[in-house]
Amino acid sequence: MSRRIAPIGLVATLAAALSGCGSFGAIGLGPMERSAKPVESDTLPPVATAPVTSTALPPPPTDPNAQLPPQTAAGTLPGAEPLPGTGVPATPPPVSTASGAEIGRTDLLGGWTLQSGGESCQLFMTLTSWTGGYRASTRGCQSPTLKSISAWSLSGSQVVLAGANGVSVASLSATGKTQFNGQIHGGQAVSFYR
């Protein structure tokens, strides 16, 4: 008598195939369960709401990279009145300099060359709200007074530079859109330009 023995690989494959036969119902391929529960609705009943109204938005800022300061508790920007009927704060109008050029907050953003007492360094201004106005910083300054500048504000055509505690360090007046001259509190001349 001669017996044939099946190859081991064939037996393993057949065993694996047969072991999965009982699991068809477990994965939902078998007959449907007869005692299915009804599905509850996952939608909510409608709720009465106020009518929707629309108003026009103010124009976007001219500098798309400029950051606007946060609104005050009253909902307006410092020095700005809301646009009529919208409750949206308006940007204060630009101010004219002695040369007739108009200066606005966005004209002051970015890097400037700062000079005082024979020293020249860099001044940077942003529209991030800060103690004393908006955030400012200096780079490469040797004077402790110039190093302390950490804020700026625009009051009319005058730029006020302030220290970390919000106390005014220097006041400068615009002589054009790119030149401001004034004095550090204490009498020393100061200017920034680009």
Q: pLDDT for 125-172, tens place per residue?
A: 999 999 889 999 999 999 999 999 999 999 888 999 999 889 999 999
Q: What is the pLDDT, as a whole number, of residue 136?
A: 96
pLDDT band at 52 (very low <50, low <70, confident <90, very high): low
Query: Could you tell me the domains of the chain?
Result: 102-193 (2.40.128.10)
Residues 6+ apart with CB under 8 A from 61: 68, 91, 106
Longest CA span, the chain: 122
Among residues 134, 143, 111, the alpha carbon closest in space to that of 124 is found at: 111
Q: pLDDT for 65-120, tens place per residue?
A: 555 444 444 444 444 454 454 444 444 444 445 555 678 999 999 999 999 999 99
- The distance of Cα 131 from the centroid of its chain, to the nearest Å, equals 18
End-to-end CA distance of the chain: 107
Q: pLDDT for 174-190, tens place per residue?
A: 988 899 999 998 889 99
Do residues 97 and 108 make contact, with C-beta atoms less than 8 angstroms apart?
no
Position 48, amino acid: A
Among residues 160, 61, 57, the alpha carbon closest in space to that of 106 is found at: 61
